[in-house]
Amino acid sequence: MSTITDTLRSNWAVMISGTGSNLSALLDLDPVLSVGLVISDKKNAYGLSRARRRGIPTYHFENNDWDDLQNQLKRYLIDYIFLAGFMKICPENFLKNWSGRIFNVHPSLLPTYPGLKSIERSFNDKAPMGVTIHEVTPAVDKGLILLQRKIVSTDTLESSEFQIHISEHRVVRRVFECYKK
C-alpha cells in the first residue's frame, strides 16, 4: 500500500479529453505533482498543447487500444493516473492494473448524479451541487470518495456550470496540496 509520501515521489499521468483546464490547475502546482505524461483520446485536445508547452510528453489514445495505453504508461514509468475530464469508461482489465492508483474528478456530490450530464441533472432537480474526487473502479463513479466540495446554488445552469468548473480546479489543487503535507 502506498503512502502520501510515496505519492509525492511518484510519476503521474493525467488523462484528458478537452481543453485541459483541470490539467492546468494541476500543472500550476508542480513540483508538488510530477506529471510524466498527458494522455488524450482527442488528437487536437487543447490540453495536449498545454502539456507540450511545459515540456511534458503527450500521448494520443486512439481506437480504444487499452493495451497500447498500458504500454505507454509503462514506458513513462507512471505510478498513478488522474482522470481530469477524460470522457471514456476505463475497462475492468485496465483498472485491475491500477487499483488504488487511479483517481477521477466528477462534477456532482457522489453518490448522487453519477455518469454524464451530472451538472444539468442536479441543477434541474434543484439538488445540492458540487465536485467529488474519487478512486476509479469498474463501477462508474462508485469508488472511494477522497474529497467533496459543495458549491453555492445559482439561478442559471450556465452559472452553475461555471461554479462547478472553478470548484473542480480548487478541489484538484486541494487534493494534491494535501499530498504535499
* pLDDT tens-digit map of 72-88: 999 999 988 999 989 89
Tell me what the mean pLDDT of segment 160-165 comes to.
Answer: 92
How far is residue 49's CA from residue 3's CA, in Å, rounded to a whole number? 32
Residue 4: predicted pLDDT: 41
Return the SS3 of 22.
Answer: helix
Q: Where are the domains of the chain?
A: 4-180
Q: What are the cell numbers at 162?
A: 461555471
Q: What length does the chain have?
A: 181
Query: The domain 4-180 is classified under which CATH number: 3.40.50.170, 3.90.230.10, 3.20.20.10, 3.40.640.10?
Result: 3.40.50.170
Provide the H-helix boundaries in 15-156.
21-27, 46-53, 66-75, 92-97, 118-124
Higher pLDDT, 28 or 54: 54
Residue in this structure with the C-alpha cell 455518469, named with its chain if needed: 115
Grid cell in block for residue 120: 444539468
In this prediction, residues 154-162 reach a mean pLDDT of: 91
> To the nearest 10°, the Cα dihedral for 62, 90, 57, 134?
150
Q: Check pLDDT > 50 for residue 2.
A: no
Q: Which residue has cell 478512486?
A: 135
Neighbouring C-beta atoms of residue 9, cutoff 10 Å: 9
The catalytically annotated residue of 60, 106, 134, 165 is: 106
Would you place residue 9 in the very low, low, confident or very high pLDDT band (cuts 50, 70, 90)?
low
- The C-alpha atoms of residue 99 and residue 22 are separated, in whole angstroms, by 22
123/3: higher pLDDT: 123
Question: Residue 58: phi, psi to the nearest 5?
Answer: -125, 160
Q: What is the pLDDT of residue 181?
A: 36
Q: Does the annotation mark 169 as catalytic?
A: no
Residue 5 has what pLDDT? 43
Tell me whether the omega of the peptide bond preceding residue 111 falls within 30 degrees of 0, making it cis: yes
Q: How crowded is residue 13: how many other Cβ atoms within 10 Å of its Cβ?
A: 24
Q: What is the mean pLDDT of residues 40-61?
A: 92
Q: How confident is the model at residue 33 (pLDDT cuts 50, 70, 90)?
A: low
Residue 114 and residue 119: Cα distance in Å, rounded?
Answer: 10
pLDDT at 43 over 50: yes
Enter the DSSP assignment of 144. P
